[in-house]
Amino acid sequence: MKLSREWLNEFTDIKADTKDYCDAMTLAGSKAEGWENVGAGISGVVVGRILEIVRHENSDHMWICTVDVGQKAALTVVTGAQNVRKGDLVPTAADRATLPGGAAVHAGKLRGVESQGLLCSLKELGLDTHDYPYAIEDGVFVLQEPCKPGDDIKEVLALNDTVVEFEITNNRADCLSVIGLARESAAVFDTALRLHKPVVRGGAGSLSDRLEIAIAEPSLCARYTAKMVRNIRVAPSPAWLRRRLRASGVRPINNIVDITNYVMLEYGQPMHAFDYACVKGGKIIVRRARSGEALKTLDDKARVLTPDMLVIADTRDPIGLAGVMGGGNSEITGRTEMIVFESANFNGTSIRRTAIALGMRTDASGRFEKGLDPMNTVPAVERACELVELLGAGEVLDGTIDAVAAEPKEVTLSLDPERINALLGTDLTRDFMAGVLGKLGFRLEGDTIHVPAFRSDIAHCADIAEEIARFYGYDRIAPTVFRGAATPGGYSPGQKFMRGISAACRGMGFFEVMTYSFGSPNAWDMIRLPADSPLRRAFVIQNPLGEDTSVMRTTALPAMLGVLGTNLAKRNMNVKLFEPATVYLPAEGQALADEQRVLVLGEYGKDADFFALKGCIEALLTGLRIKNVRFEAVSDNPSYHPGRCARISCGERPLGVMGQAHPSAAAEFGLNIPVFTAELSVSALMAGVSGEPSYVPLPRFPAITRDIAVVCDSAVTVAALTESLHEAGGDCLESCRLFDVYTGAGIPEGKRSVAFSLSMRARDQTLTDEHADEIVRLILAKLEKRHGAVIR
Amino acid sequence: MKKLLLELKDASLAAIAQADSVDALENLRVRYLGKKGELTAILKQMGALSERERPVIGQLANELRERLTGAIEARRAALSVKLLEARLRAEKIDVTIPGKPVDIGKKHPLSTVLDEVEEIFADMGFTIAEGPEIEYADYNFTKLNHGEGHPARDRQDTFYFTDDDKILLRTQTSPVQVRVMETQAPPIRVISPGRVYRKDEVDATHSPMFHQIEGLVIDKGITMGDLKGTLNTLLRKLYGERAVTRFRPHHFPFTEPSCEVDVQCFECGGRGCRVCKGEGWIEILGAGMVHPRVLEGCGIDSTAYSGFAFGVGLERLTMRRFDISDLRLIFENDVRFLNQF
């Protein structure tokens, strides 16, 4: 909301400088976003009278003017304008004058003749023909204002106003008006508020036999007030009115349109004017649009209406889209004889939805949607008629039609200073509170507060507390530390666990990423999920921004591949990433999703391979104290390389999957190199954490190590060999470490050599070499018998 | 003979003192103390001495042997220290050569700031509450005092999953507060951080998904002064002890009185500059006293209990903290970006 301080001061007297004014209003809840001075940048421009005008000798289009600027010596000014005549009063910028936008005027020679200044056009003063319709665009602004040579042009054109831009919160529709802000300003600065009661002379006949109003949809229109004016004389509005509109960011059009806008700005009540000749049947009906009904609005666009939209209709067709925009079929024209002023109260939600559906938010709809005061319709329409008479724009008919569909109920509350002080942490007196409420237009009767109709936001004692706090000053409420029973606070076990995982991943060189929770259904195809995959059952957003963000993810693998792809495209050569991601799974018999945390890892680059990632996962699991972990080959996970994918489990509990992303899936994300990913269920990890460790005495006897290498079928897994090793080795086999896997020269086709380093130790004595050799013999026998493995 | 011994002593001690290597020292030891050494040679002549002289000279000779042995050992120790020093000098390396690379990852900048805020509140006795992101409209709106016609419910602002508009992507983390109030008796001190969703097209300052951190305190006798005290603590911990705050009235449906909290611009100290768009203040968070209607809706007696709530955008805090100018960078996850924090 743009507020002209000149207009404001018609209702109260605020003398504070603009910065102080803005600060004080902001601290009282009307946030001033900034301000600008009308005519900013203009200096040294005065009224000049053309004393003499002669052709420039060296130019076929220039003139040399002698200009009286109210000083002893007249100025010589060269101009190229063709509309200047002797005796004209024109804005004259002398040497060193400045114009809007920072332009400076300098004396200088124009084709050999010294010019001591510049005769200004509208545009050079930052104006246009909407501000001064009598002036022309291409030429000097020939003034018709009362003024004399030497007068400062800013005074003459009243370019001395300041406009403050306010951000008004949604609950304060009343402050989207000069009067509303004047009321707030007067309360802030403790000045008198001068409200004006419109006076209409009327006398141009009666409207009751000309117009009838019916509200067919009372739930969407609480009140519809109308007055009529005849003998309309459409003309430009006077300068003062145009200036106020201009300051408020509204373009002046003509007196009738300008009056409706002026009243909207002053009272906050949107108005509309219909050409009475276009109201067929002399009857205005407020009803829902019929299905398929069409209306060409004032912006010349054809609108197709639906039954949830409210229209203003005559006995046949819609003539206006209620609260949004009038219809072209009832527009005021130069031939308009008689008009109907509409001042109505429409349902805010309905107006908002109509405006959104048709993509046409207007000043009027923006006000209606916040919920307006139904008591404002009559004063507003009377103010419009008063202005008609003041401007000589027509003759007002006697009488008002005021159709009331729903009587507004007065809200009353009780003033409870104790409760208010308890809520605010203050010690304010009842008198102070009563004073604040009084200034804001509340009426106090004993302890009963009568809430004024324009304050529809006030419905509770807490609302009253805010009014008191605003005018006491939030900044004056002393900051305190709350008391009460101590609460332990801190992180839950799950939150601590997640922090631990994150720290471990970072420690191993993985960067944390954050990706969108929603994605494209195409992503399922990209990671090659079969048509019947349960992961394709997802929460689907009905009104997404686009297909790319339309389904809640059931797997975070596409997002990880996407981020890896982005990084490769940016030529980041070695990349290791992790995301603690949430997936959203539909759950049987449950309306909301089963939201699960998944740890996703992804890497590519010089050192990335299956075993690099597996090593990190093993380290992570060890660090988290997750024991009995198994990796088993999986060849049927469609998103992974069939020969390089492992299911990870802890005992019987599946933890997740890891491997090389299927090259076809990776390629979908622009990854034409091997990439390795893992997906681990955080809840499964947490459930797999073994109990608190308890100390085991350190070994007192030495260990004996033996290295063995066996040759066996390539299909025999290291896991199978290891299991047999332990089985055969018994308690004395403390550990076995794989140190070599070899195929090639010396090893038959289809076989491989696998080498282990065995560490053996007895708990209660020093192990003898003989005993160690016996263990190795047992092991080798077992390997041969079970796996056909022979010592190399 | 005594004279001979004294001469040998002077000569040998001088020679030992001058020995400049372990080898030279060893030669001296052999020369003086060896089986064929000079001291031995002298001692071999002891037989020619009288009974009276023999023990005197014997003692002298033994003293000399011990003296020489000690001197050689001392010299050897001194030489080996020198030797070690020389070797270490020769082993000098260029310490400016980089270390062997060890991978280390980083937190996402949003996590860095979130963890910090969580820690501040955990220290103040708050727990961290979590709740569903796919949520009932009832929790996201109705119980938070958003009437049926509230604009935030519009399909152009909120993502919905069902035709009846009953299930949606939460637009704020406040529904978690409702869930806490419904299940937990006061005193309540929680923060609820998490993802929220609004139908905004992606640009430098908008994203359809972003993060909020909301806080809630409910107890007997909680005042607006307490709200100010708590938020001042948060903002001073985040922005330094000298951070200047400003509370100004605002409007939120589920708090009354409501406020927005500004921090004085760090760049210009309040004079007005490009960073604060000339206002001198930077808006950081929204807050207020929990609306009695919200308390009652959650089964908390609003005449006995009061409380405050606040909410802050994590992206805004993070972008301000690290001078990040474009929100899109945050969700793009380019490692060159992530590596900067």
| Torsion of the alpha carbons at B156, B162, B167 and B173, rounded to the nearest 10 | -30
From A65's Cα to the closest Cα of chain B, the distance in A is 44
Q: What residues of chain A lie within 8 A of the CB of B222, using their CB? A: 482, 484
Alpha carbons B290 and B287: distance in angstroms, whole number: 9
Give every CB contact of residue A502 below 8 A, 6+ residues apart in sequence.
A512, A578, A580, B107, B111
Q: Tens of pLDDT along A58-115?
A: 888 888 999 999 988 889 898 888 898 899 999 999 888 999 888 888 888 888 888 8
Let me know: does A4 contact A247? Beta carbons within 8 Å.
yes
Q: Do A27 and B248 touch (CB under 8 A)?
A: yes
> Distance between CA A603 and CA A510 in Å, rounded?
8
pLDDT tens for A390-408 read: 999 999 999 999 999 988 8
Return the residue in B192, B274, B335 with the most chain A beta carbons within 10 A, the one to mutate for interface testing: B335
Task: Looking at the complex, report in whole angstroms how far the Cα of residue B18 sits from the nearest Cα belonging to chain A.
Answer: 50
d(CA B76, CA B25): 7
User: Backbone dihedral region of A351: left (phi > 0), alpha (psi from -120 to 50 degrees) or beta?
Assistant: alpha
CA distance B134 to A595: 8
In terms of domains, do B177 and B268 share one?
yes
Q: How many CA atoms lie within 13 A of B182 on its CB side?
A: 13
- The verdict on a CB contact (< 8 Å) between B226 and A502 is no
Query: Is A192:A185 a contact under the CB 8 Å cutoff?
Result: no
Contact B201 A577 (CB under 8 A): no
Q: Is B50 exposed, middle or buried (0-12, 13-18, 19+ CB in 10 A)?
A: exposed
Pull the structure tokens for residue A628.
């009995």
- CATH number of A43-156: 3.30.1300.10, 2.60.40.10, 2.102.10.10, 2.40.50.140? 2.40.50.140
Average of pLDDT values for B245-251?
Answer: 94
Residue B10 lies in a domain: yes
Q: Does the structural domain A411-476 have CATH classification 3.30.56.10? A: yes
User: Per the CB < 8 Å rule, is A474 touching B151?
Assistant: no
Arch. (CATH architecture) of A2-38+161-189:
2-Layer Sandwich (3.30)
Where is average pLDDT lowest: A148-152, B56-60, B115-119? B56-60
Contact predicate A344/A221, CB 8 Å: yes
- Model confidence at B252, in pLDDT bands (50, 70, 90)? very high
Whether B155 and B252 share a structural domain: yes
CATH architecture for segment(s) A212-404 = 3-Layer(bba) Sandwich (3.50)
Q: With beta carbons less than 8 A apart as the criterion, state whether A120 and A43 touch.
A: no
Q: Write the ipTM.
A: 0.86
User: Rounded to two decimals, what is the model's pTM?
Assistant: 0.84
Distance from CA of B322 to the nearest CA of A (A): 17
How many helices (H) and strands (E) are present in chain B, helices listed first? 12, 9
How far apart CA A386 and CA A523 sit, in angstroms, is 66
Q: Is the pLDDT of residue A486 over 80?
A: no
Chain A residues within an 8 Å CB radius of B293? 460
Give how far the C-alpha of residue B295 lies from the chain's centroid of Cα atoms, to the nearest Å.
39
Does residue A484 have a pLDDT over 80?
no
Distance (Å, whole) CA B158 – CA A349:
16
For residue A568, the chain B residue with the least C-alpha distance is B334
Last residue of a domain, one of B90, B124, B139: B90
Domain that holds residue B308: 109-338
Domain boundaries defined on chain A: 2-38+161-189, 43-156, 212-404, 411-476, 493-687, 704-791
CA distance A66 to A70: 12
- pLDDT single digits (tens) B46-94: 778 888 888 888 888 888 889 989 999 999 999 999 989 999 999 999 9
Cα B140 to Cα B142: distance, rounded to the nearest angstrom: 7
User: N- to C-terminal Cα distance for chain A?
Assistant: 90
B105 CB neighbours in chain A (<8 A) are: 505-512, 576, 578
In the numeric block, the tokens 């049947």 are attached to A281
- B12 is a domain residue: yes
pLDDT score for B167: 96
Q: Which residues contact A42 (CB under 8 A, 6 or more apart)?
A: A98, A99, A100, A125, A126, A153, A154, A159
A594-645, pLDDT tens digit by residue? Answer: 999 999 999 999 999 999 999 999 999 999 999 999 999 999 999 999 999 9
Give, in order, the Cα–Cα distances in Å from B76 to each of B65, B68, B86: 16, 12, 15
CA distance A750 to A643: 16
Q: Residue A49's pLDDT is what?
A: 94
The reply to whether A502 touches chain B by the CB within 8 Å rule is: yes
pLDDT at residue number A488: 80
Where residue B211 falls among pLDDT bands split at 50, 70, 90?
very high
Examine the domain organization and report whether B249 and B186 are in the same domain. yes
Chain B residues within an 8 Å CB radius of A502? 107, 111
Nearest to B249 among A470, A481, A507 (CB): A470
- Residue A357 in contact with partner chain B when CB distance is under 8 A: no
pLDDT tens profile A516-572: 999 999 999 999 999 999 999 999 999 999 999 999 999 999 999 999 999 999 999
Q: Using CA coordinates, name the residue in chain A closest to B230.
A: A481
Which residues, listed in sequence order, are joined to residue A296 by a DSSP beta bridge? A302
For residue A487, is pLDDT > 80? Answer: no
Structural domain tally of chain B?
Answer: 2
* A residues 474-493 closer than 8 Å to B (CB): 474-475, 477-492
A509–B162 CB contact, under 8 Å? no
How many contacts does A have with B, using Cβ atoms within 8 A? Answer: 250
Q: Residue A525: which H helix or E strand, with range? A: helix A522-526
Residue B275 lies in a domain: yes
Q: Do residue B18 and residue B150 come from a single domain?
A: no
DSSP string, A229-290: EES----PPPHHHHHHHHHTT-----HHHHHHHHHHHHHS---EEEEGGGSGGGEEEEEEPP
Pairing of strands A653-661, A676-681: antiparallel
Average pLDDT (B187-192) is 94
Minimal Cβ distance to B334: which of A478, A570, A595: A570
B186 and B260 belong to one structural domain: yes
Residue B280 has pLDDT above 90, yes or no: no
Q: What is the mean pLDDT of residues A282-304?
A: 92
CATH number at B218 reads: 3.30.930.10
Pairing of strands A733-742, A653-661: unpaired
Chain A: closest CA distance from residue B269 (Å): 16
Q: Look at B123 and A489 and tell me if their CB atoms are within 8 Å.
A: yes
Pairwise CB contact (< 8 Å): A479 & B222: no
Residues of A numbered 132-161 whose beta carbons fall under 8 angstroms of chain B's beta carbons: which are they?
none
Question: In Å, how far is A627's CA from the nearest CA of chain B?
Answer: 25
Whether A26 sits inside 8 A of B248 (CB atoms) is: yes
Least Cα separation, residue A191 to chain B (angstroms): 21
The Cα–Cα gap between A395 and B333 comes to 69
How far is it, in rounded angstroms, from Cα A783 to Cα A785?
Answer: 6
Amino acid making up residue A61 = H
User: Is beta strand B127-128 parallel, antiparallel or unpaired with respect to B188-197?
Assistant: parallel
Residue A485 pLDDT more than 80? no
**Same domain (yes/no): B226, B144:** yes
Instruction: Report DSSP letters for A763-782, one per residue.
Output: SSSPPPHHHHHHHHHHHHHH
Closest CA to A671 of A579, A567, A601: A567
pLDDT at B44: 81
N-to-C CA span, chain B: 86
Structural domain contains residue B179 = yes
Nearest residue on chain A to B154, judged by CA atoms?
A: A353
Answer yes or no: do B239 and B303 share one domain: yes
What amino acid occupies position B307? G
Q: Which chain B residue's Cα is nearest to A560? A: B333
- pLDDT of A158 higher than 80: yes
Please indicate whether, in this complex, the C-beta atoms of B250 and A540 are within 8 angstroms of each other.
Answer: no
Indicate the CATH number for domain A704-791. 3.30.70.380
A578 touches chain B (CB under 8 A): yes
**pLDDT recorded at residue B33:** 86
Check if the beta carbon of residue B45 is closer than 8 Å to that of residue B1.
yes
The partner residue sitting opposite B219, judged by closest CB among A482, A488, A582, is A482
Q: Are A565 and A671 in contact (CB under 8 A)?
A: yes
Give per-residue pLDDT as tens, A314-355.
999 999 999 999 998 899 888 899 999 999 999 999 999 999
Query: Which chain B residues are Cβ-neighbours of A602 within 8 angstroms?
Result: none
Mean pLDDT throughout B266-276? 81
Flag if A466 and B249 touch (Cβ within 8 Å): yes
Task: Give the whole-angstrom CA distance, residue B110 versus residue B116.
Answer: 10
B285 within 8 A of B310, measured Cβ to Cβ: yes
Residue type, A179: I
Distances (CA, A) of A383 to A182, A183, A239: 17, 18, 19
Identify which of B109, B149, B181 has the alpha carbon closest to the alpha carbon of residue B340: B109
With CB atoms and an 8 Å threshold, state whether A469 touches B224.
yes
Q: Is B223 within 8 Å of A425 when comparing Cβ atoms? A: yes
Task: Say yes or no to pLDDT of B275 above 80.
Answer: no
pLDDT of residue A39: 83
Q: What is the pLDDT of residue A272?
A: 95
The reply to whether B118 and B256 lie within a common domain is yes
Nearest to A352 among B108, B148, B151 (CB): B151
Residues of chain A with pLDDT > 70, as a percent, come to 100
User: Predicted confidence band at B32 (pLDDT cuts at 50, 70, 90)?
Assistant: confident
Q: Give the integer Cα–Cα distance in Å for A676 and A561.
A: 9
Among B111, B122, B226, the residue with its CB nearest the CB of A482 is: B226
Q: Do A462 and B230 touch (CB under 8 A)?
A: no
Do B64 and B182 fall into the same domain?
A: no
Residue contact A509–B259, C-beta within 8 A: no
Of B189, B209, B292, the CB nearest to A462: B292
Q: Which residues of A touch B223 (CB under 8 A)?
A: 422-425, 480, 482
Same domain, B131 and B76: no
Q: Which of A72, A150, A76 is nearest to A110 (CA)?
A: A76
| Fold: same for A2-38+161-189 and A411-476 | yes
Q: What is A493-687's CATH topology?
A: BirA Bifunctional Protein; domain 2 (3.30.930)
Is residue B218 located within the same domain as residue B134? yes
Cross-chain residue pair A422–B118, CB shorter than 8 Å: no
Q: Is residue B265 part of a domain?
A: yes
CA of A274 vs chain B CAs: smallest distance (Å): 30
What are phi and psi for residue B83, nearest 5 degrees?
-60, -45
Sheet holding A704-713, edge to edge: A733-742, A751-760, A704-713, A790-791
pLDDT, residue A56, reads: 86
Same-domain pairing of B76 and B13: yes
The DSSP letter of residue A326 is E
CA distance A533 to chain B (A): 21
Q: Do A460 and B292 touch (CB under 8 A)?
A: yes
Q: Contacts of residue A481 in chain B, CB cutoff 8 Å? A: 226, 229-230
> Minimal Cα–Cα distance from A634 to chain B, Å?
29
A242-253: b (≥16 Cβ within 10 Å) or e: bbbbbbbebebb
**In-domain check, residue B117:** yes
